[in-house]
Amino acid sequence: MINNVRNTRSSATLGLATGLDTASVIDGMLMGTQQKIDRQLGLKQQITWKQQMIRDVISSLHTFQRSFFDGLNPKTNLLSEGFFLAKRTTTTSSSVSAVATASAASEVTIDRITQLAKPSQLKGNSAVSSEIRLTIDADMLRQDRLVRFNLDGVEKSITLKGSNNTEMLSFIRSDLSKLFGSAVAVDEFGAVTVEGNRRLTILGGSDALSAIGLSHPGSNRLIMSSSLERLALTTTLTGDDFRFSINHVEFVFTKDNTLLDVINRVNQSDANVRMSYNEIENRFVITSDSLGEGIPISVSESQGNLLSSLLNSSDLPGSLEYVNGANAILSVDGKVIERNNNSFDLSGFSVTLSQLSNVPVTISSQPNQDSIVDGLTKFVDQYNLLIDQVSSMISEKSEYRDYPPLTDSQKKDMSENEIDLWEKKAKTGLLRNEPQLQSLLNDMRSALLSSGAVSGLSLSELGITSGGYAQLGRLSVDENKLRKAINENGTLVQSLFTDQIHGISRKMNNVIQNAARSSVLNPGSLVVIAGIANTSSATKNLLFDRIISVDRMISNLQRSYEVQKDRYWKQFTNLEKVMSRMNAQSSWLQQQLTQE
């Protein structure tokens, strides 16, 4: 950053021979050049401020354009006929939900829904997890005697006791009966049974678990976080590496992977299926992502027995239960139709079936005035903010001449608040009567007021009126009048905005494009002046060129300043030398005269 060069020498001592404050004298002699530098620095700051203020307008124009003339915002895209054809949809039953498209019929009736679309499934055999069997060894019991039994989230503790294996097993059976009744039982051989397809997990310290024959926490259901080598499966895993395919997508795992790793990797793959563990039935199910009849699910295994163990089948896929998917079946206007999904298009409605129905379900639509009124009201509000922003810039009283940009030395003597207040004044009126901004305002107003040749309507007939010169052309909305116009002349209202040539939206979008277009080959008028930050136009615009020109001027003046300063210092240094010699001669002469 180029700054002023004032006070670059720290010397402020008086000359020994001349008694002059040399630095102050030289600064005074350089004051004219320094003032020229300060004026150029101030000019650069003003140009930079102008550039940023115009870029702020460009940003506001882009925001306005994205909000109301962009297909990515269909709810407020005034260029789209679909915005003005928005409809409200109602259904007579919760069995069906629907959204009307622009081409939707006014009403359609589904006579009955006899079947919903369902996915195909490949079900593993039940009892995939092995039973819990306690192998009592009282000699293994050391200090930790507490074992916790967690039944469906309800946890109870028992203390292991007994002088021998038989006695310890007896105490365990007795304590479990007291805590859980008949829900959890241990037979005389240590086999644990649980009623009602419930989950039981046994927890405890290593000594306590070892005393009942468990090397780690045990459960009658699979634990998702368990590593594969620790899974208590009915069919024991063989080997350390596993490889299988589902729908021709291959998966590879090792014994260190967890069961959750397996499920997540399958579900996030391109196999088009979801693998899940049904805890109630204690078996795995592979379900197709797609609904409908005839969706295949193929499985195969090429290394190890992980998939066959999870599905509890020694013969893939022969011994597994395949459940074919189903199509949705419904009757519309007396005709039976089938769809392979529960969501589909029907007479212009996007329909979703959620449950069967033996009674007719009527889907109806009507123009959604609320969404149209809301969109047009937001358009007017944002238009007014844009008009206010630009109008204030080109009409505010010029005060910047009385508040030139501060120099660095001036800022040193001011507080942050004083600097902010000064610079606010210094920016006031910089863009007063700026031709391109004035042209932008005129073009925007013209786009609103000159339309209607095709539709036969004007904005005022919609209840959207301009406040005139006193209010800088701001718009206001009479909502009742707008609703009436939409209800009585919806097609004409649509044409007023969307007509390819005369539509308000088309014209307004063109005005914004002409002013704020970011194209390198054909930039908008404001982009030509100020550019857009972080784009190639940031250094390819008129104001940037002016800043470069001013920087060159400042550099030239600073070089001149340094040359003059060095010359003056040399001259004053020589003066000091001359004066020093003269003072010495004068002292010698005076001494000689005194001796005589």
Q: What percentage of the chain has pLDDT greater than the value 90?
A: 52
Q: In 521-541, which residue ranges form alpha helices assigned H by DSSP?
A: 525-530
Question: Is the model's pLDDT at 219 over the cut of 70?
Answer: yes
Q: Using one digit for the tens of pLDDT, what is the confidence trace for 558-579?
A: 999 899 988 888 888 888 787 7
CA-based angle 14:18:22, to the nearest 5? 45
Question: Is the model's pLDDT at 542 over the cut of 60?
Answer: yes
- As a whole number of angstroms, the distance between CA 190 and CA 135 comes to 6
Q: Share the mean pLDDT of the chain.
A: 88
Say what the pLDDT of residue 2 is.
45
Neighbours of 528 (CB within 10 A): 17
Q: Using one digit for the tens of pLDDT, what is the confidence trace for 307-343?
A: 999 999 887 877 788 999 999 999 998 899 999 999 9
Q: In 74-143, which residue ranges form alpha helices assigned H by DSSP?
A: 81-84
pTM assigned to the model:
0.61
Q: Considering only residues 292 and 4, tell me which one the structure prediction assigns the higher pLDDT.
A: 292
Q: Using one digit for the tens of pLDDT, what is the confidence trace for 166-199?
A: 888 888 889 999 999 989 988 888 889 898 788 9
Q: What percentage of the chain has pLDDT greater than the value 70?
A: 94
Residues 6 or more apart in contact with residue 239 via CB below 8 angstroms: 255, 303, 304, 305
Instruction: Spell out a b/e string for 211-244, using b for 16 or more CB atoms within 10 Å of the CB, else e.
Output: bbebeebbbbbbbeebebeebbbebebeeeebbb
User: What number is the average pLDDT over the span 406-426?
Assistant: 90
Q: Report which of 118, 122, 124 is spatially closest to residue 296, judged by C-alpha positions.
A: 122
Q: Report which of 133, 127, 42, 30 is spatially closest to residue 403, judged by C-alpha positions.
A: 42
Distances (CA, A) of 223 to 143, 206, 232, 286: 27, 18, 9, 18
Q: Using one digit for the tens of pLDDT, what is the confidence trace for 70-92?
A: 988 888 999 998 888 878 888 99
User: What number is the average pLDDT over the span 512-530?
Assistant: 94
Neighbours of 312 (CB within 10 A): 20
- As a whole number of angstroms, the distance between CA 460 and CA 482 comes to 9
Residues 6 or more apart in contact with residue 355 via CB below 8 angstroms: 94, 95, 113, 116
Q: Which CATH class is domain 230-323?
A: alpha beta
- As a whole number of angstroms, the distance between CA 309 and CA 68 comes to 58
Q: Using one digit for the tens of pLDDT, what is the confidence trace for 98-141?
A: 988 877 888 899 999 999 999 999 999 888 988 888 888 877 76
For 233, which DSSP code?
A: B
> Are 351 and 344 within 8 A, CB to CB?
yes
Domain spans, the chain = 87-117+327-367, 138-213, 230-323
> Are 586 and 29 within 8 A, CB to CB?
no
